[in-house]
Structure formats: C-alpha cells, structure tokens
Amino acid sequence: MSKVSRMLMPGLGLALLSIAPALGQAAAPAPAAQAALPALFWVLAGVLGAVLLVFLTLFVAVLALMRPQLRRLYELPSVRRSWSGQVLGLLVGDAVLVRGEVRDEMLDHDYDGIHEFDNDLPPWWKYGFYVTIVFGLVYLAYYHVAQAGQLSHAEYETEMQQAALLVSADDPNQLTTYEPLTAAADLASGKTLFATNCAPCHGPNAEGKVGPNLTDEYWLHGGEVNHLYKTIKFGVQGKGMVAWKGKLSGKQILQVSSYILSLQGSKPAGAKEPQGQKEAASKPVAKL
C-alpha cells in the first residue's frame, strides 16, 4: 500500500461512518410514503389495465386483418381435424370445439315416428362430465379416505356446539368459563373502562361509593372472574347495578373484571366498609 493510500484510509473511514446513519434514515419508509402506497398501487393497476386493453385491441385488429389467411389454413384437412386446428376455428368463426361435430346421420330406428340423430355430445358437456369425475375422486380421497375434512353431519354438530356456546354466553343462569386476563395491555384497557363507566359508583380506586368496595375480600355476588363477568354483563335488578350487556363487548367486560381482580388488597384511602361474604378471589398479575 502506498503512502498516499495510507493517508487517505482514515479519512475515508470517517466519511463512511458519517454517511451510514443518513443511509439508514433514508432507507426507513416515511409516513407520507406509506400513505402513498395505496395510491401508487391503483396507478400501477390502471397502467396495467391500459396496457392490456391496448394489447387486446391490437390482437383483435391483427386477427381481423389475417382472418382470410387463417381461414385458408383452417380449411386444410390435417389442420382442421387437430385440436389446435379446432382452437384456430374459434378465431375464424367455427365453434366446433365447443358444440362438436353435427353429422345429422339418422339412425335406422324410430319410436312412434320420432327419429334419432347420431350426433356427438357437445365437448363442453363431456369436459364438464370429466371434471365431475375428477371432483368426485378428490372428494372421496379428502373426506372419506384421508378424513381431512368434516362431513355434513360433523359440520352440523360443530355448528350446534358453537350455537350452544353463544346461547350460554347470554344465559344469566349459566356461568362462563373464562380465565382472568393477565396481559398489561388488557389490564390497562380494563382500567380505562373502569374509570369511564364504573368509577362514578365504585370510586376511582374501586374504594366504594354508592356501590360496594371492590378491593377487599368481601363480595355480594361472587369474586371469581366469571361471577364478576356475570354481574357486570347482566347487572343486579333492584340493587342499582346496571347491565352493561350491549354497551361493552365481551372482551371489554372480561378486561374490566380482570382489572378489578388486580386491585385486590390495594387498600385505597377512604375504602368503604366490607359488604357481603368473605371470599379470596384470584388476583391476576400483569405480564410485562
């Protein structure tokens, strides 16, 4: 390495180090660029559609100009009997590939004066019949041999089970089987919902106002998460506890219930005296 190269290397290294952050920032997509992506997609789709339209127009024009030559080519017996020749026939106006050969050859029998022609079935019908055979084989292998999918009876049973779950979720006499939510995001959402909807009656720290204290071990209607879920969802008639069904989603009710359980033993200032029966409720721990 020459003396000049050794002198230039440190400066080149410093220049690269200074440029690298700028390159990293430039590589990161800006919010404006992200917002422009849908518009760019539609522009590209429009350009592609225009190109396809121009190509189709040129194809039709070329086909119209070359139709006499294609017709003469199609009239050749060796070409007309081939499958590719029948495709060519579609371009020159002969739909034999779709409707089949119509020979109009009458068979030598009749029924009460009704005669029968010996014509082939239309190719579209035969191809459709072949497709049904392939479909039947695939269906047999998938549902009966491999048993990878549910048959109609099993689908019916599954749908009935799902319907029963939905009905039980709206049945105030049947408890749900939820577990308390422990994720920090769910507990944060439950705290926000509690502050908005529950704090006017239970206090900002669940210490109790018109409603009971929710931070001690005493409960009027059960302190397990599914009892709390039921109380919040359906309310308590004649006790001032309104039903939040229809106002909060099922997940939001479970978030509020889990947040209330997270307040157990917090002992807020000015807590209301215990009400109900003593019950040790499970306390979810947020997963950070």
Kindly report, residue by residue over 214-240, the tens digit of the pLDDT. 999 999 988 899 999 999 998 988 888
> At 17, is the pLDDT very low, low, confident or very high (cuts 50, 70, 90)?
very low
Q: What pLDDT is recorded for position 85?
A: 76
**CATH fold for domain 184-278:** Cytochrome Bc1 Complex; Chain D, domain 2 (1.10.760)
> At 176, is the pLDDT very low, low, confident or very high (cuts 50, 70, 90)?
confident
Average pLDDT on 167-196 reads 85
pTM for the structure as a whole: 0.44
- Phi, psi (5° rounding) for residue 241? -85, 110
Q: What pLDDT is recorded for position 195?
A: 94
Q: Max alpha carbon distance in the chain (Å)?
A: 113
- Lowest mean per-residue pLDDT among 4-18, 75-89, 228-242, 246-260: 4-18
Q: Strands 106-111, 277-278: parallel, antiparallel or unpaired by DSSP? A: unpaired
**Strand, coil or helix: 245:** strand
User: In the chain, which segments carry CATH 1.10.760.10?
Assistant: 184-278
- pLDDT at residue 22 is higher than 60: no
Q: Which of 263, 241, 245 is nearest to 253 (CA)?
A: 245
CB count within 10 Å of CB 264 equals: 18
Average pLDDT on 1-13 reads 49
- The number of helix segments (H) and strand segments (E) in the chain equals 11, 4
